[in-house]
A and B are shown apart, each in its own frame.
Chain A
Amino acid sequence: MSVLSRLLRSPEGAVGLAILVLLALMALFAGVIFPRDPLSIVGPALVRPFTDASFPLGTDRLGRDVLAELVHGTRASLAVGIAAAVVALVVGSLAGTLAGFAGGLVDEALMRIVDAFQIVPSFLLALAFVSVAGASLPVVVFAIALGAWTAPTRLARAEVLSIRERDYVAAARVIGMRPLEIALREILPNALPPVLALSSVIVASSVLIEAALSFLGLSDPNIVTWGSMIAEGRNVLRSAPFLSIFPGIALMVTVLGVYLFSEGLAEALAKRRARA
């Protein structure tokens, strides 16, 4: 039975996958569903949600369509969240494998660098970096990854330290495999599964950090993000709370979807390996 069908059997996997697929579709087809620039003014200000059919979720203080903003905002959140997680995981896996495999001074040096990055709370780190380097999407991605790469590094290193002692690594050495090939072919693929399990946590926290950054006005000002929507709605929180609530719900659903999906995926993958 394929991983996909096993994934769909568990409630977490099915719901998580559904949410993520919905979000992905929203992000991909935002331009088709709402072809106009979401930041353009399309109607009167502060129309209440569910009152006007042409603005299902209402409009904001400037008369922009909330639903259009919400759908377009999916792009930024998902793109940044996933990109930051990918950078963190790739850098972390490589650094952790190098540290665990090389040992000695290399290991010590890398771990002290990891310590240094872990001491600073990742949000403050991202904040500081964006403040200095300027607000654009690639910078935001890098800023988030700065804080997120340490956990995969530690985990990859721990896995490698244990795998290093296994018989199949010894066998690879005995037949004369070069260290680089051993690290990349024998060790890294087997060290990855626990690290990949971290990916959901990293994606979720990246999405939230991005939202926080753009709430503070530190993300790319030319695109709509859920964080910027919440920031917009802050000024009229008492009279029009819906402006902040909808993007808030969107964030919550995204994080929930990511967690449920990875729960279901971990279970589906675990069953496959247990059977083998």
Chain B
Amino acid sequence: MSRTFARLSGLTVAYRAEGTSSTALEAVDLDIVAGERLAIIGESGSGKSTLALALAGLLPGDAHVTGRIAWPAYGHAPLPGRDYGFVFQDAGASLNPVLPVGEQIAEVAQRHLGMAWREAYGRARDLLARVRIPHPEAALRAYPHQLSGGQRQRVGIASAIAAQPRLLIADEPTSALDMVVQAEIVALLGELVREDGMTLLFITHDIALASGFADRIAVFRNGRLVEAGPAIEVLSHPKDAYTASLITDHIDLSTPPLIAGDTA
């Protein structure tokens, strides 16, 4: 029997600036099931990032929130790091450029698990190995700018899971990476989530990417939840025309080429 991890009821987020107001999310009702991998699909302006920030309590100060987010799993709003981990789109910007990555990961363990620094560094090294960074011992002392984009994202994931949170929110974690690295990172996330029994909220604009690992899919458009349901159902029998258009607009290797006379 699946438990509700979090429940959004009528969640509305608006930004007010100088008399004008823009609604990023409108009347969203969505359940997050414990242990599931939920993919939030949306294009630009859909509100998907706002949703991630709202769940993480990271909305800017001038955001106006109505409706509620209930957390049956915790009984209180989740604490960053301890109760949930957040993986950002731009790993480079979310890491402190003047601190070695080992220290940044260790700090999460030290602060939230009450570990001594020595122990925390050991945990950081183990995490780096788990996210498949080569030479984890040496990597502890590396600075973010010395790592590639894909490696920085692995570090971001390592620090997100360092305190063993039950929820992992990934906001377009692969959108800034190339295809090959993207596939590796997605596979890594799937593996970690499965091993640790975490609930995963994966935000992306790529419906095919989500189809590869999501249990459920929620489609957003212009701040509204358009459709939500089990992945296979939404993809094979979309109820909404927008969802259907996202599926048909997707380009993969089986899409017939647009240029004529290419039969070879």
Contacts and interface: CB of A to CB of B under 8 A. Distances in A.
A230 B10 CA distance: 68
A90 B19 CA distance: 38
Interface residues of B, number: 3
Contacts of A275: 17-18
A116 interface: no
6 contacts: A1-B18, A1-B19, A6-B18, A271-B18, A275-B17, A275-B18
Interface of B: 17-19
Majority-rule SS of A interface residues: helix
A84 B19 CA distance: 40
Contacts, number: 6
A275 to B, nearest CB: 7
B84 to A, nearest CB: 29
Interface string A95-131: 0000000000000000000000000000000000000
A86 B19 CA distance: 36
Nearest to A275: B17
Contacts of B18: 1, 6, 271, 275
A109 to B, nearest CB: 32
A275 B17 CA distance: 9
Nearest to A6: B18
B14 to A, nearest CB: 16
A6 B18 CA distance: 9
Contacts of A6: 18
B17 to A, nearest CB: 7
Nearest to A9: B18
Nearest to B19: A1
Interface in A176-213: none
A275 B18 CA distance: 10
Contacts of B17: 275
A31 to B, nearest CB: 42
Nearest to B18: A1
Contacts of B19: 1
A1 B18 CA distance: 8
Q: Which 3 A-B pairs have the closest CB atoms?
A: A1-B18, A275-B17, A271-B18
